[in-house]
Amino acid sequence: MLLQDKVVLVTGAGGGLGAGIARVCAREGAKVVVADVRGDAAMDVAAQLDGATGVACDLRDDAALDGLVAATVSAYGRIDGLVNNAGANFAKPFLETTQQDWEWVVSLDLRAVFFLTQKVCRQMLAQGSGGSVVNISSVHSQSCLPGAGPYDAAKWGVVGMGKSMAVELAPQGIRVNAISPGLLNTQIWQDLQNAAPSPAACLDYWQQNIPIGRVIEPEEIGELAAFLLCDRSTSITGANMFADGGMTSQLVSREPYAAKAIDGR
């Protein structure tokens, strides 16, 4: 197993992507701390995993961050891996976005990532055996959509500050990487289908515009996270890995018609 006897803290793991990541880490042998602002959800997910612990935590609260680190160390004696998954989605026209909107998104999607990582890395340094941090960014770290300004800023920021952390902490054996997922089979996907004229039309559109022809399951991101957390990936740090089914590699949306071949000679 990739993570045998390692202690891994996963934020936003009370459901969706975070729960998928937690499940894979537990399956690979890790002792998992399932953290979520929804305490009951965190406990429910932890109860389904062998040897896991659920912790209620509002990541916007600095004292709560200290408490999360302390709870993890109290439960398992150490921290070997951190997955910064918790985040707030956002869509609102740029000219209507308020300061409160900005602070709400950035405080969770960027600020909390920075300071929880700082606290966890201090613990890792005290242990003296290194560690691995995986930050969940987004395809928004390369390409954007209208109305996602604060979200885009945060997800780009997660990648940039992660590279800085990776370079600084490499001599101490701590690695920091990012994963940028595409469209996931989580509540966001359900919301997209519910907002479309019909679920079938929504499904057809996205199948046409994701090269692999489907949305991605949370556990698929969990597999990549587990690899980055494990000792088989010790040469990888400062990376941003796109797990998007080819979405960001496609130049434009696919044509809604069959074009003739272009010879070019």
Q: Is the pLDDT of residue 261 over 70?
A: no
- 99 assigned to some structural domain: yes
Percent of the chain with pLDDT over 90: 80
- What's the whole-model pTM score? 0.94
pLDDT of residue 147: 87
Q: Which of 76, 151, 205, 257 is catalytic?
A: 151
Average pLDDT over residues 150-176: 97
**pLDDT band per the 50, 70, 90 thresholds, residue 264:** low
- 85 assigned to some structural domain: yes
Token reading at 98: 């308020």
Backbone angles phi, psi at 157, to 5 degrees: -65, -40
- 192 assigned to some structural domain: no
Active site residue 151: yes
212 or 199: which leads in pLDDT: 212
Average pLDDT over residues 228-241: 98
For CA atoms 241, 137, 20, 134, the dihedral sign is positive
Beta carbons of 222 and 23 less than 8 angstroms apart: yes
Domain that holds residue 19: 7-184+217-246
Query: Tokens 């556990």 — which residue?
Result: 219
Closest CA to 62 of 108, 124, 104, 10: 108
Backbone angles phi, psi at 127, to 5 degrees: -75, -30
Cβ atoms < 10 Å from Cβ of 94: 10
| CATH number, position 158 | 3.40.50.720
Token reading at 237: 């740090």
Closest CA to 153 of 96, 94, 209: 94
- 41 assigned to some structural domain: yes
Residues 257 and 102: their CA atoms lie apart, in Å, by: 40
pLDDT of residue 207: 87
Q: Which residues contact 195 (CB under 8 A, 6 or more apart)?
A: 202
- 253 assigned to some structural domain: no
Residues 74 and 5: their CA atoms lie apart, in Å, by: 16
pLDDT of residue 263: 63
Average pLDDT over residues 98-126: 97
Total count of domains within the chain:
1
